[in-house]
Amino acid sequence: MNPKFMENAVAENKSSGQRTQGAGSDGRGARSKAPVFVLGCGRSGTKLLYHTLLSAGGFAVYHAESNAFNLIGLRFGNLAKYKNRRALLDHWLKSKLFYRSGLTREEIEPKILAECHNAADFLRILMETIARKQGMERWAESTPLHLLYLPLIKKLFPDALIVHIIRDGRDVTTSLNRIGWIKPLPWDKKRRLLAPALFWRWIVSKGRKYGRSMASDYMEVHFEDLVQKPRETLLQLGAFIDHNLDYDRIQRHAQGTLRDPNSSFRGDGAETESNPIGRWKALLSGAEVSQVESVIGNLLRETGYELAGDEALRRPSLPISLMSFLYPIYFDLKLWLKTHTPLARRGEIQRMGISDPPTNPAASHQISNP
C-alpha cells in the first residue's frame, strides 16, 4: 500500500470533519445503515452476491464497479487539488460508471468539485447521491480489486462491513485462465494454469489477513454455500449486516446476474449456467488438478475445500516451486508500482468504459448486467 496515498487520504478525511464515516445525528453509524463492501477475487461470485443484496431491497442500486480505490484514487492524483478533481470529472462523466449511476451531471458535479478530497469522498458522494435520489438509506459497493485496499477502506469508512466471498480456487483458476485476465510470464506459458491459481492464492490470502484485524466487521461467505444453501447463507449474512435478506423477495425482484448469469462459460456445450460449482472436475485433467493443487492446496484446505489430485503428482517440480515463490512477489511489486510511483497516473483507465454519452443517460441505472 502506498503510505503517502494513505497518509494524504486519512489527513484529508480528518480535516473535512470525518465526512466519510457517516456517523452523525442521523444515526448512520448504526450497523443497519453501515456501507457494505462485497469483495473477493475476480470470478468468485462478487457480482452474484452484490446483486443479491440489491435484489433484497433497501440498498441503492448501482450496476457498476466504482473502481474508487484501485483506479480513481490513484489515476487522478491528489483530489484535494481542484485541477485533479476537474480531470477526474472530465473522464468520469463520459464513462459507463457515470451513465449507470442514473444521475444527471447537475446532481453530482457540484458536490464532487466542492467536497471530494480523496477516493473515499468520491465513493461516499456518489453512493449517497444515488441513494438519496432512489429514496434509500444504505449502499453497497463491489469492486473485487478493492480487497487489496481493505486497510485504507476501513480507515476511511470505519463503520464499513466487509463481506469476502470465497470460491473454490480450482474453479476460479479455470475461469480466469479461460478469459485470460491473469497471464503467465513468457517463460511459464507451458504452466499457464498456475498464474491464475497463484493470483487466487495471493489475493484471497491478503483479504483474509486484512479481515482478521477487523473482528466482527468482517465475514467470509463461500460461493458454493450461496448457490447450494441460499436461505441458510442469507440468514447468516443478513444477521451480520443487520439487513433483511428475504430469499423469496430476492427471487421475485432478481437483478443483474441473478437474472442473467455472468459466466465465462456462456455458450459452452459442455457446461450449463445452472451448474457453476465444480466445473474444474470436467475441464481439468488429473495432472492439471494435481499441478494446481501443488501451489494452492494449503489455502484450499484452510478455506474448507478437499483436495482431489494425486498426492504424488502434487509434489511440485523446481519450476513450479519457483513460480510459487516468485509470483506473489511479482504481484506485490506490480501493486506497489501502481500505488507508489508515477505509474499510478497511467492507471488502466479503460476500466471506466469511456465512450460517447448514451441517448438517455438518466435511464442507464436500469442496465442489469455490467
Nearest to 101 by CA among 71, 152, 67: 67
Distance CA 256, CA 370 (A): 8
Looking at residue 12, what is its pLDDT?
44
Calculate mean pLDDT across residues 77-87. Answer: 94
Region of poorest pLDDT, from 48-57, 124-133, 181-190, 259-268: 259-268
Domains and CATH numbers, the chain: 3-17+26-254+277-358 (3.40.50.300)
Looking at residue 343, what is its pLDDT?
72
Region of poorest pLDDT, from 160-174, 270-284, 302-316, 317-331: 270-284
Region of poorest pLDDT, from 218-222, 274-278, 323-327: 274-278
pLDDT digits (tens, 9 = 90+) for 201-234: 999 999 999 999 999 999 999 999 999 999 999 9
Most confident of 69-73, 238-242, 342-346: 238-242
Looking at residue 352, what is its pLDDT?
80
Looking at residue 341, what is its pLDDT?
81
Looking at residue 125, what is its pLDDT?
98
